Structure 1
């Protein structure tokens, strides 16, 4: 029965991520239900979902290359470093502390997911901070992505909008590429630490 639940969660999580995001909100609780401790469940969830992001980024490759608001290479380096820091922070967090953080992380991810779907786009677009201020928030988002990652796509889209991007195709492609980079960094770290089940 648990195997069926995990397979269903993997398919549903992958489908959600390819369409709108939020796959972690399905796979992570399913892995907890299967009996994994929170850190192993989080690491395994990341590994289960990461492959689809690169396919999505490849589909948007021309839009990504056309991005003028940011240095795309700089953002990829930022995501690589942030994802690594987040993954290492997760490994250094005692299981009991991470377990106490889990409800809050899931609540945060759920709120971000809901806001991403229901917040008026015009309200976000009226707040513009400019791309020069993007570095620190995007770095913090990358660290969060390596640490937990639920709702990361909506955080990135909101950040891109706040920093002046308007091309939704470029935003989606850049989001998938950056999430892919931070995720594969976390995946390699988790596999090396033997916390993937």
Structure 2
């Protein structure tokens, strides 16, 4: 590995850590970077996933104030992310990547609509129901988080957009609180997927790549938390939509 290659991978990790904390989709930076330098797709995906765990930790910690009072919500959603991420990680090891190529852009597009329409959906639901969350909402939320976990464990790019889209439509919370929950759930998915990769196919892990991405992602997570928490709701939603649209373009071309 040359010095230029190492610097490029570390920089990609920093950018990915920043974007993941604010929105998600940081993998769309690190994964193509690794492919550009000739790393095999599965090994690149596995190493990238493990490396980005470090950025997830710093990003989730940076959003800790937005999570005050949301312990019950997190405890409800974390098992769904856990099951989904294990399933997705195992699918990565047994299925061709082409299996998800058609559905992923559609999922992201639906998520973007939910991000935009989420506040209106919540206001409409509040007028029709006295409870903050109905049983139907809770079931739909758990299913959505489970499916996002499957996707996140499989590939991960735009997982944050999917999570924010689902939660924007089904949770009566401020977008910054939703972003804080997204960071914790995303971290859970990355950690679980990383453990599965290490147990099942440790030979796919390229440790120098993991270290470079992790170092950059830790710094990126701190930067992303500062930037994301300072954004007004309309700007944060706009950034989410823009990055989501870029993700769709990258994935379909």
Whether TM exceeds 0.5 here: the answer is yes
178-187 or 19-28, which deviates more: 19-28
What does residue 127 of structure 1 align with?
121
| Match 2:41 to one of 32, 35, 38 | 38
- In our comparison, the structure showing a higher alpha carbon Rg is 2
2:92–2:154: 8 Å Cα contact kept in structure 1?
yes
Counterparts in 2 of 1:191 and 1:63: CA distance versus 1, 3 Å: same
Structure 2: where are the runs of 5+ without partners? Answer: 123-135, 207-253
Task: Give me the whole-angstrom Cα distance separating, in 1, the residues matched to 2:143 and 2:62.
Answer: 28
| Structure 1: unaligned runs, 5 residues or longer | none
Partner Cα separation in structure 1 for residue 91 and residue 23 of structure 2:
27
Separation in structure 2 between the aligned mates of residue 121 and residue 2 of structure 1, nearest angstrom: 36
2:23 maps to 1:26: no
RMSD: 2.7
Change in CA separation of 1:40 and 1:63 when aligned onto 2, cut-off 3 Å: same
In 2, the alpha carbon distance for the partners of 1:23 and 1:125 equals 25
Match of residue 166 from structure 2: 159
Q: Assess, with a 3 A threshold, how the Cα gap between structure 1 residues 77 and 29 changes in structure 2: closer, same or farther.
A: same
**TM norm structure 2:** 0.64
TM-score (norm 1): 0.80
Q: Match for residue 88 of structure 1? A: 90
Q: Aligned to 1:126, what secondary structure does the other structure show? A: helix
d(CA) in 1 for partners of 2:138, 2:23:
24
Query: Per-residue deviation at 1:63?
Result: 3.3
Q: What does the per-residue CA deviation read over 1:175-196, in whole Å, with 9 as the maximum and x for residues that have no partner?
A: 1111111110011111222121
Sort the Cα spacing of 1:25 and 1:82 in 2 relative to 1 into closer, same or farther, 3 A: same
Compare the two structures and name the one with the higher helix fraction.
2
Query: After the TM superposition, which residues 82-121 of structure 1 pair with which residues of structure 2 at under 5 Å, given as runs?
Result: 82-93=84-95, 97-98=96-97, 100=98, 108=105, 112=108, 116=112
8 A Cα contact 2:114 2:169, kept in partner: no
Deviation at 1:17, TM superposition (A): 2.1
Q: Work out whether 1:4 is the aligned partner of 2:11.
A: no
Matched residues, number: 187
- 2:51 paired residue among 48, 52, 55: 48
